[in-house]
Each structure stands twice: as C-alpha cells, then as structure tokens.
Amino acid sequence: MICPVKLNTKDYFKAWKNAVELFGEGQVSTFIIAGLGETDESILLGAEKTARIGVIPYLLPLRPIAGTFFEKVRPPTPGRMIKLYRGVAETLHKIGLDPRESKAGCVRCCACSALQEAFLFPP
C-alpha cells in the first residue's frame, strides 16, 4: 500500500465497512493503482478482499507525472492491465457487485479505468 501512513490496513477496512453500512454495497470504492511495484496476485487479492465487504475495487494503471517520485516509472503494459481487469471483473461477478450500478464518484464516471468494459464480458 503506497500512501501516507495515516491508518493501518485494519483501520481502512473498518472505515470501508462503515461507509458500506451508510451508503450500501457497491456505492463505496477504493482505488487500486497497478504499476507501483506490486504483484498481480496482490492486486487480485486486495480486490477480492475489498469486494467481499461491498467495496468496488476501482483498478487503474499508474500514470506517472513529471516532477513526482514516480515520474520515471513505466506504467503497466496493456497486456498486464487486460489480465488484471479481467481478474477483478471475475471477482466482482463472483461476489455479485456491479460497478455499473454505482451512483456517484469515479466508478460512475469510469473515464480513468477499463473496469466496466471488462465487467461487460464475463469470464
């Protein structure tokens, strides 16, 4: 997990669970950014863990920005992203979460991720 250490993983899950209780399953999301040095297995496992509590794992590739710590990091290949999108979509189908039913936020817009396109073609 690459983020300021404001909360530990246990606290993130507690916050997500509280948000799901308030807004409903499939109405809470979390960003999963591929290309930060993680393994495909860790992405798919994290996506499954969040989906199981009703949170949409919103997968997108790293888009390096000049002047930042990651500016020289190469983004994931299209082939890797297709594999990951399909894996996350399969998990969402299995659990019964549909990102197209999200009512607000990034998942609703879907401009930065191909998750909804992957979801349209079930395994």
- 30 part of a folded domain: yes
Dihedral in degrees, nearest 10, Cα atoms 11, 58, 46, 5:
-40
Domain count, the chain: 1
Mean pLDDT, rounded, for 55-63: 96
- 10 part of a folded domain: no
State the pLDDT at residue 21: 98
State the pLDDT at residue 122: 72
State the pLDDT at residue 120: 85
Confidence category of residue 77, pLDDT binned at 50, 70, 90 = very high
Q: What's the domain range around 47?
A: 25-119
How far is the CA of 4 from the CAs of 39, 73, 96, in angstroms?
A: 20, 19, 31
Number of residues that this document lists for the chain: 123
> Does the structure show a pLDDT above 70 at 59?
yes
> Does the structure show a pLDDT above 60 at 5?
no
- 59 part of a folded domain: yes
- 12 part of a folded domain: no
Helices (H), 1-123: 9-23, 40-52, 78-95, 105-109, 115-119
**Phi, psi torsion values for 30, nearest 5 degrees:** -140, 140
